[in-house]
Amino acid sequence: MILKLFRESHNIFRISLMNIPENRISVRDIKSIINRDTSPWRHLKSVLIHIEQGSFSFEEMIGLQHDGLEAGVRVECGTLKRRRQPFFEEDHFFSDGDATTKSSSSSTIEKIH
């Protein structure tokens, strides 16, 4: 995984991942990035994960968001819009069921239609 190249850069606070067949990342890998005990990035505040539709189940996405909530890391997970790729984390993109799921350290997990 390319993120291994950045393990010595301890001041990373935002990560954006694109989970496509050519660059597959597992739920377990993402959990290790979010987890304060296993992540080399102690200042991490936000993880944005662009996935292909169906590559993660809705339950896996909610699980990642819950893990992020516990670690104080905002986790957004969903599929890219067909019009263009998102440029920043507040950019809206769709998760399964045409909804965006979000979590943050200061709010609960919500499903927006």
User: What is residue 48's three-state secondary structure?
Assistant: strand
Q: Which residues of 46-84 are buried (b: 16+ CB within 10 A; e: fewer)?
A: bbbbbbeeebbeeebbbbbbebbbebebbbbbbbbeeee
| Per-position pLDDT tens, the chain of length 113 | 556 777 778 788 888 887 666 567 888 888 988 998 888 888 899 998 888 777 888 899 899 999 999 999 999 887 766 545 555 555 555 444 434 344 333 222 333 33
pTM of the predicted structure, to 2 decimals: 0.65
Question: Are 48 and 89 in contact, with CB atoms under 8 Å apart?
Answer: yes
CA dihedral 85, 60, 9, 14 (to 10 degrees): 50
Give the span between the Cα atoms of 70 and 80, in whole angstroms: 26
